[in-house]
Structure 1
Amino acid sequence: MRTDIFARLDREPEPPKIEPPRMSPTRTALFGATLAFYVVIVAAVLTNSWLVALDWKTMLFRPYQQWPGLHAFLDYFVVLGQRGPTAVMIAAWLGWRSWRQHTLRPLLVLGASLLLLNATVGAVKLGLGRQGPHYATQIGSPELFSGGDIFPSGHTANAVVTWGILAYLATTPRTRRYLSLGSSALSLGVGATTVYLGTHWVSDVLLGWAAGLLILLAMPWFEPVIGRAELAIFGVRDRWRAYRRAARRAPGGVRPGQPPLRPAAGDEDEQPRKPVGAGRGPAAPPACPSGGTGTGTLAQSRTHHPVRSDHSPITPAGGRRPPQSRQVTGG
């Protein structure tokens, strides 16, 4: 029995039975409530309501000046909401899980969630064009349609999705519960940090939380597509492996399905010709005109097909030599 620490890194002999979450009535109700909250926040900013007034009060309060000692730490903490670093960290962990569990589902779920995040949050950012607190020009204005891209908060939505996807992919209820609490605290902290640093309005953070939660709640609807994509990728991998095995076993390096090589045109004369009567027994000795060793006649010797060197050279017209007479003496 192995007792070293590296034994824990061994691949499981049998992949565990993982049941993806389903769109239960509770999850559907939460999705509807979160969507309603999302619409309310957008409407409150569009109508320049009390929420915009709260944005300006918080911005003019300048939290980063009230508690300057937290600034150095929070500058690093907010990186946990940036898409690039968090995606690399989560992808590395889920890649190891995919290898250990013999499945591509963790990586495909992460890719699908990030794709949905970029599409939905990016579209709203560009459509509303809101400027951030540092670029605001008119006090009390919602700063919409000004060419900005601050609403909703991308840091907050990304923190909800990337860290919440770990809880979504948990295999036990207890693990899912703990990861849900940890990812919620982390996403709340990232959103509050952006308000402290003055890079986002309060309404930006509220909409970012709602946007990320909507993606997590909607992921069961995309599970069938993810399953088909996994089967397609494994099918391509299996065909490629079979092709490589067949190519290694093929004689002479000929790939399966490739026709055998044939001599090029004009190379027939270069191939050695098989002598007449080969394979029918020992060949008869050739006839010798001088009668030294041959036993055939001149007529029999002429039936032998001469090779190319036996032909007399061809000279220009009118200059051909007359054929020399040959005498055959009996032996």
Structure 2
Amino acid sequence: MPPVTPCNLFGVRTDRIFARLEQEPARPLTPPPEMSGTRRTLFFTTLGFYVAVVVAVLTTSRLVRLDWQVMLFRPYKQWPELHAFLDYFVVLGQRGPTAVLVAAWLGWRSWRQRTLRPLLALGASLLLLNVTVGAAKLGMGREGPHYANRIGTNEMFLTGDIFPSGHTANAVVTWGILAYLATTPRARRRLSVVAAVFALGVGVTTVYIGTHWVSDVLLGWVSGLLILLALPWCEPLIARVEAYLLSHWYRLREGSAPLPARLRPRAAVTAPEGRLHAPGSRPGVPSPEPVLASPRSADRPGRVPDGPRTHHPSHAAGRHAVRSERSPVTPSGSRRPPGERTVSRTAPLGPRK
């Protein structure tokens, strides 16, 4: 026997499995299924079968007689060697463990593909399951095989809550949602087979251990299938909820909402000349790129905000330019226009001639 390594666990090549998982986000997402004519026909046909099973139990038909025959046969006594294994296998139909397991897988897919649709579809299916199956259980109040009182009766409208089978309906929904969310036809076919095996196995197991009637299991299968067929009607609502949640998440992550005062960055320091300097720079030292120009300098005649500065005669008419706007002096002389006198402050002032 080869040694057990991360790439060979229980005889399975796990490196191929992980390589397959790494290709999941690269695959394009298929659009959500629509309620086509074929699916609508299947939905209403299944709904009719649901009503037929309920009517058959209410009228104490041959289906109820079959329930009692299987119950009195006691399969768990006929094949006791299967009891230990099937006690663990029936857990695949319990709502808590299966929901956590499937939610973990769909959560990983949501994170890899940057979409919330898998988790929202699972949440919508479980919500429909709890509402519809729970209401039917409480409304019809059927007693289970272990609590039956009169042989041959349907045991309806008493204190029980086993019609339809919750284990069976949950197995159909939680494992069938994986096939519903599959991104390729090949994966959808394979996952449909897996979901069918689990759903059929859980239903038959509940009959074997004596916790449900045969009619309970039939109605459980039909109830779960109705929920999967009705999911395309929920897709527009799922898309709106996903857009709402993602928009709020991106807004919170990008910080577009106003921050508290203690979390805001330091404001720029205003220099005496009327300009704004970047934090950390010293006033009076020219910056290679000014942060913001004075708002008064933008409306001056001849002032080009983003281009080279130009001189205007209004500067000599009494307006005093800020230091950064004064004409620079170069070795070739001043750039002042001819005709303006430059008076030296050290020369004595005398009368003009």
**1:180-195 → structure 2 map (5 Å cutoff):** 180-195=192-207
Note the alpha carbon deviations across 1:96-147, whole angstroms, 9 max, x for none.
Answer: 0000111000000000000000000000000000010000111111111111
Q: What's 1:237 paired with?
A: 249
1:18 CA drift (Å): 2.4
2:88 is aligned to: 76
Amino acid at match of 2:44: G
Go from structure 1 to structure 2 and tell me whether the alpha carbon gap of 1:175 and 1:32 turns closer, same or farther (over 3 Å shift). Answer: same
Tell me which residue corresponds to 1:212. 224
Is 1:251 equivalent to 2:263 in the alignment?
A: no
Task: Mark the CA change 1:229 to 1:64 in structure 2 (over 3 Å): closer, same or farther.
Answer: same
Give the whole-Å Cα distance in 2 for the aligned partners of 1:8 and 1:55: 45
Q: Which amino acid aligns with 1:147?
A: T
CA distance in structure 1 between the aligned counterparts of 2:41 and 2:16, rounded to whole angstroms? 48
CA separation of 1:63/1:226 partners in 2, compared to 1, >3 Å: closer, same or farther? same
Return the letter of the residue paired with 2:57.
Answer: V
User: After TM superposition, what 4+ stretches of structure 1 lie above 3 angstroms from structure 2?
Assistant: 3-15, 244-249
Taking structure 2 as the reference length, the TM-score comes to: 0.67
Residue equivalent to 2:146? 134
CA RMSD of aligned residues (A): 2.2
Aligned length: 250
Distance in structure 2 (CA, Å) of the matches to 1:14 and 1:244: 30
AA aligned to 1:251 is R
Q: Which 10-residue stretch deviates more, 220-229 or 5-14?
A: 5-14
Q: CA deviation at 1:10?
A: 6.2
Contact 1:48 / 1:141 at 8 angstroms: preserved in 2? yes
- CA deviation after TM superposition for structure 1 residue 17, in Å: 3.2
Q: Which gives a bigger RCO, structure 1 or 2 (Cα 8 Å, sep 6+)?
A: 1
**AA paired with 1:220?**
P
Q: Any idea what SS the aligned residue of 2:29 has?
A: coil
Q: Deviations over 1:36-89 (max 9, x none)?
A: 110000000111111111100100000000000000000000000000000000
Q: CA 1:67–1:15 in structure 2 vs 1: closer, same or farther (change >3 Å)? A: closer
Using the TM superposition, give the Cα deviation of residue 23 of structure 1 relative to its aligned residue in structure 2, in angstroms: 1.0
Aligned-partner Cα distance in 2 for 1:129–1:160: 22
**What pairs with 1:75-94 in structure 2 (closer than 5 Å)?**
75-94=87-106
The gaps in structure 2 that reach 5 residues or longer are 1-14, 268-353
The 3 A distance-change label for structure 1 pair 66 and 13 is closer
**Identity in percent:** 69
1:24 Cα deviation after fit: 1.3
1:152 equivalent among 164, 168, 189: 164
The SS at the match of 1:152 is: coil
Tell me, in whole angstroms, the C-alpha distance in 2 between the residues paired with 1:161 and 1:13: 24
Question: Which residues of structure 1 form unaligned runs of 5+?
Answer: 253-331
Please report how far the alpha carbon of residue 14 of structure 1 lies from its aligned counterpart in structure 2 after TM superposition.
Answer: 6.4
* 1:22 to partner: Cα distance: 1.1
The aligned residue for residue 39 of structure 2 is 27
Rounded to whole Å, the distance in 2 between the matches of 1:223 and 1:20 is 7
Higher helix share: 1
In the alignment, the residues of structure 1 paired with residue 113 and residue 27 of structure 2 have an alpha-carbon distance, to the nearest angstrom, of 5
Greater mean deviation of Cα atoms: 15-24 or 134-143: 15-24
Is the contact made by 2:29 and 2:183 (CA closer than 8 Å) also made in structure 1?
no
Change (3 A) 1:47 1:100: same
Of residues 36, 40, 46, the one that matches 2:48 is 36
| Structure with greater Cα Rg | 1
- Residue 61 of structure 2 aligns to which amino acid in structure 1? S
1:172 aligns with 2:187: no
Deviations 1:163-210 (A, max 9, x none): 000000001111101111110111001000000000000000000000
Whole-Å Cα distance in 2 between the matches of residues 124 and 9 of structure 1? Answer: 39
Question: Helix, strand or coil: the match of 2:28?
Answer: coil
Once residues 204 and 91 of structure 1 are traced to their aligned partners in structure 2, the CA distance between those partners, rounded to angstroms, is 27
